[in-house]
Structure 1
Amino acid sequence: MNSGKVYLIGAGPGDPGLLTVKGRDCLALADVVIYDYLANPVLLGYARPETEQIYVGKSRGQHSVPQEEINQLLVDKAGAGLQVARLKGGDPYVFGRGGEEAAFLRQHQIPFEVVPGVTAGFAAAAYAGIPLTHRDTTTSLALLTGHERPERKLSSLDWQKLATGLGTLIFYMGMSNLKMICEQLIKHGRAADTPVAVIQWATLPRQRTLTAPLNKIAEQVAAAGMEPPAVIIIGEVVRYREELRWYDNLPLFGKRFLITRPRAQAATFVALLQAQGAETICIPTIEIATPEDWTPCDQSLARLGGYHGVILTSANGVEAFFGRMKHLGLDLRALAGVKIIAVGPKTAKEIEKYGLSPDLVPQNFRAEGVVEELLAAGVDGKRFLYPRTAIARELIPDSLTAAGAEVDAPIIYRTIATLEKRDMIRHLLESGELDAICFSSSSTFDNLQAMFGDELKTLQGGTKFFSIGPLTSGTIRKHGFEVALEPEQSTLDDLVGAMVDYYKEP
């Protein structure tokens, strides 16, 4: 039998940043990824595009694929010679049935490796501001499951020892039995006023933490409507939460934003927002496409050495420009003596990835800034290449041409509307689940407007519209909508900074 190998990978508790480096590397090598309900789907981005992805998730009362079938699936895929990444929430060997899967693989002589993950109990405590041990409080803790095999009852636990012999108790999967757990602990000697924390969706921006005494927590959890997935922490260490909480004190914690820019360009924006505690949903309203006809662009690139300067005004334009150069067999030598002009610092950083430092980055990060500084330096008799998007304004070519320059402005990429996630955006707007939609270009808003037409005004409800700069804001207002926020400088860093200021308590 031509056997592959199975990697039982702990995906961590939810925050994709808590995946281990080894787990990430195994995902990158996998031919197949088999993942669970509690494994953050963002992690699938570490796999190769051609990697097969199979969802076998389980949630309370719903089993997508029975465990026996998951076991057999692992054997079948690895037995076919494939490298299999089995992505499991938390740690595979902490209430994750990883031991059962490993034993089944061993029985069928399938090689496997276990990649530990950050278990939910430890992560939930850390993100809620609760030290599980503290030398002034307790030096012992226990990990327990509140949901055992159906034929076994929680009453079979040694409640006397749990109640009086251990400091901190961490219950996984105990929400449906929370009341009984509390009653048993109090009955067997645990103080009724022992502090308890219930942490739902730990390490994610939707995290909720509720604290109450042992004799009142079940009632308060029910009143708050808290449901699984959640971790229950019982012990005196919970009292440290108010002093040590940090995650839910981040400035954008609990806020949910829709990101409309293309997925490939959204990563930096998402990282900036998540660092401030925000939850982000990426649903692009545009896609990047190649020109319908490459001829004008290729003709311009063939005579690169004849230009005084190349003007690049977006990260997409930079990627398309250097990508097309490579396609035509051109390298950086073709740009010898040609000045590189970037519209702003973000575009400049993209250019630097290709080994070049821009000769000009205007103080005003807009096309107007490029025009102003070029005209100040003099453009009469000079020739410029301005590779652009199909919907770019004519400001740069018109202004420079009027001043005596010659400008070639071929289309190097297009933005096209995508309707793929229209229903998902509708649901988010109708349910009021969004605090704001962030627009990074006029086209991102134009295409959202095209999706819903006049109905967008009704759907918007209380959702705010945030704009990266004056051009995008002008487009939003042209359609009759209010712009709630616009940063002073048209950069993602400034937009996130403005969002933090916007939500500061007065």
Structure 2
Amino acid sequence: MLPKTACRTQCRAAAVAPGSQCDVLATFDHLPLLNKRILITAPRQYASKLTPLLVDAGARPTWVPGVAISRLSEQQHWQQLDHSLQQLESYSHLAFTSKNGILAVLERLAALHGGPEEAVQYVQQSGIKLCALGADGQVLRDAGLQVHVSPKEASTKGLAAELAATGQAAGAHILCPVPHVAGGLVEPPIVPRFMDALAAAGADAVRVPAYLTSLGLPGPECCAKEAALLQQGYFDAIAFSSTAEAQGLCLLMGGKEAVVSAVQQHCTVLAAHGPYTAAGAGDVLGLPVPIVSRNFSTFNGLVAALADALH
């Protein structure tokens, strides 16, 4: 078994505060995640945001994408999305559940209307209200669009509650661009629960596939070395940013039993970006997820939670 730290140093107890970075000139003993080996399973689009924050805190992350995010691959799904986007004026709200959904919709609107500026103009003229979670809304603002609903809790549950509390749900016609889950993965309950919550609040909510979520790598052979490291106890923690990533990790690393056995044998700690991901990943693995970001509007919250627990 490989040692968990090559040179163990006393790390400062303070975690990385949300929205901040570690001191660029800090000495090693002041880095809250110094030499902590963290397996991250986020797709490329999110791993590229999380990894620098972990490195900045002194961690040594390893990336094995449990899921991949890409454009829709089947014509029927493209047609569903195009049909919905061509009649935005018939909806009262456009409710995004992820940054990927925003990017996919903006890209498709630009293709349908002749360019980004024309797409923005079409959305503005449609009169539809845009809903986004946390920092995701900045993508819309950068495109020149207004975010009308941004819940205090950056989650689908928070969004449904915000729409209900402000009286915007009852009688509303809401378009929800969501992922199409494929490649051996099972759709996590997040989106179905969101749709149910909107319906319970009196909304007529319509889901439409906007992008594809599939297995992060072609097969287990692509991460055989990392799977061996997991079995040897190399990692201090595994960090999930979505429930589907836990499914993908099991498919890529020898199955649920192999992953669970390694985690239990070596006391590898599980971490999650927010309580809903923690609950979902815990259900997939049948294990507790003790490290949970309290602020999950950005990945700073996850890094802070890891630093708090592992320093």
TM-score range, shorter chain: 0.7 to 0.9
3-state secondary structure, aligned to 1:361: coil
Q: 1:39-438, aligned counterparts within 5 Å?
A: 246-291=27-72, 292=74, 293-329=77-113, 331-336=119-124, 337-343=127-133, 345-378=134-167, 379-390=169-180, 391=187, 392-417=190-215, 418=217, 419=219, 421-438=222-239
Most deviating of 402-411 and 310-319 = 402-411
Distance 1:401 1:247, change over 3 A: same
Contact 1:389 1:413 in 2 (8 A): yes
Runs of 5+ consecutive residues of structure 2 not aligned to the other structure:
9-24, 181-186
**How far apart are residue 248 of structure 1 and its match?**
4.2
**How far apart are residue 402 of structure 1 and its match?**
3.6
3-state secondary structure, aligned to 1:326: helix
Distance 1:466 1:403, change over 3 A: closer
Name the one with the larger strand percent: 1
Whole-angstrom CA distance in 1 between matches of 2:239 and 2:100? 18
3-state secondary structure, aligned to 1:410: strand
**How far apart are residue 263 of structure 1 and its match?**
1.6
Provide the residue aligned with 1:443 in structure 2. Answer: 244
Structure-1-length-normalised TM-score: 0.49
Provide the residue aligned with 2:281 in structure 1. Answer: 476
Superposed CA offset, 1:1-52 (max 9, x none): xxxxxxxxxxxxxxxxxxxxxxxxxxxxxxxxxxxxxxxxxxxxxxxxxxxx
Distance 1:472 1:308, change over 3 A: same
CA RMSD of aligned residues (A): 2.3
Which structure has more RCO (C-alpha within 8 Å, separation ≥ 6)? 2
User: Aligned partner of 1:486: which letter?
Assistant: V
Whole-angstrom CA distance in 2 between matches of 1:358 and 1:402? 24
User: Aligned partner of 1:408: which letter?
Assistant: V
3-state secondary structure, aligned to 1:409: strand
Provide the residue aligned with 2:301 in structure 1. Answer: 494
Contact 1:258 1:437 in 2 (8 A): yes
User: Aligned partner of 1:285: which letter?
Assistant: G
**How far apart are residue 475 of structure 1 and its match?**
2.3
Provide the residue aligned with 1:123 in structure 2. Answer: none
Whole-angstrom CA distance in 1 between matches of 2:144 and 2:46? 20
Distance 1:371 1:279, change over 3 A: same
Tell me the percent identity: 29
**How far apart are residue 353 of structure 1 and its match?**
2.9
Most deviating of 428-437 and 390-399 = 390-399
**How far apart are residue 370 of structure 1 and its match?**
0.8
3-state secondary structure, aligned to 1:465: strand
Superposed CA offset, 1:384-404 (max 9, x none): 111011335223333323443
**How far apart are residue 489 of structure 1 and its match?**
2.8
Whole-angstrom CA distance in 1 between matches of 2:6 and 2:108? 45
Runs of 5+ consecutive residues of structure 1 not aligned to the other structure:
1-205, 210-243
3-state secondary structure, aligned to 1:437: strand
User: Aligned partner of 1:414: which letter?
Assistant: L
Contact 2:233 2:262 in 1 (8 A): no
Whole-angstrom CA distance in 1 between matches of 2:212 and 2:100? 10
**How far apart are residue 409 of structure 1 and its match?**
0.9
User: Aligned partner of 2:177: which letter?
Assistant: P
User: Aligned partner of 2:105: which letter?
Assistant: F
3-state secondary structure, aligned to 1:331: helix
3-state secondary structure, aligned to 1:340: strand
Whole-angstrom CA distance in 1 between matches of 2:151 and 2:199? 19
3-state secondary structure, aligned to 1:363: coil
Superposed CA offset, 1:168-217 (max 9, x none): xxxxxxxxxxxxxxxxxxxxxxxxxxxxxxxxxxxxxx9869xxxxxxxx
Whole-angstrom CA distance in 1 between matches of 2:26 and 2:104? 45
**How far apart are residue 438 of structure 1 and its match?**
0.6
Contact 1:305 1:334 in 2 (8 A): no
User: Aligned partner of 1:370: which letter?
Assistant: L
Whole-angstrom CA distance in 2 between matches of 1:468 and 1:332? 31
Superposed CA offset, 1:238-267 (max 9, x none): xxxxxx971343111111111111122212
